[in-house]
Amino acid sequence: MKSEREHKEISELISSAKAGDSRAFDSIYRQYFTPVYRYIFIRIGGNRAEAEDIAQNTFVKIFKNLVHFEDRGKNPLTYFFTVARTTLIDHYRKKREQNFSDLPDESFDVADPSVDNEAVFDRNLRVTEAVEAMEELTEDQRTVISLRFFGERTTIEIAEAMGKSEDAVRQIQSRGLRFLSQKVKKSNIQE
């Protein structure tokens, strides 16, 4: 949980941003972009470019609707994750309507001799396996694990964001991690 001083600082930044101070919003953006991006990245399956676009759209929506934000003593990241979640829903809805197929990730350049292609491939494979395993979790388990480990949120903050008790969040996290652990063990045995 944020200290009183940190909460006061972010509250002042939000008030300034609501009054039209673009530097204040820039500070908010720099402070909160990474956790929002991580949350989106894991939810969409590890596509960096797509995650960046959705995170940018999330902050555009936050900026446009900041006048409606009310400081109720909670971490503003709770609000930001809510906006990110609705932005993701909108993204999938549009994607389904357009019915585009995913393009291959071109960030892996085999011809570059300075790149340790085997290490890059191994890392990308592990990320892909983790993302695929995450897709098999329940919606609540994905949300809790994304917020906890990629968004670096506390159990209390996750409980507030999801409208659940801390005990419920801990149980959801435990079940999700147990499932992921079993998937990893099974995957290693099959190799």
Among the candidates 75, 101, 127, a domain finishes at: 101
Nearby residues of 68 by Cβ (< 8 Å), 6 or more positions away: none
Q: Looking at residue 80, which CATH number applies to its domain?
A: 1.10.1740.10
Q: pTM of the predicted model, to two decimals?
A: 0.56
For 4-32, the pLDDT digits (tens) are 777 788 888 888 988 888 899 999 999 88
Distance from C-alpha of 51 to C-alpha of 77, rounded to nearest angstrom: 17
Helices 4-18 and 22-44 meet at what angle, rounded to 10?
110
Domain membership of residue 147 (yes or no) is yes
Domain membership of residue 167 (yes or no) is yes
Helix (H) or strand (E) run with residue 142 in it: helix 139-145
For 148-187, the pLDDT digits (tens) are 877 778 888 888 878 889 999 999 989 988 887 777 666 6
Q: What is the pLDDT of residue 7?
A: 73
Q: What is the pLDDT of residue 46?
A: 74
Average pLDDT over residues 64-91: 82
3-class DSSP assignment, residue 3: coil
> Is there a single domain that holds both residue 158 and residue 69?
no
Q: What domain range includes position 176?
A: 115-191
Tokens 């079940």, residue?
A: 175
Domain membership of residue 106 (yes or no) is no
Around 57, how many Cα atoms within 13 Å sit in the side-chain half-sphere? Answer: 15
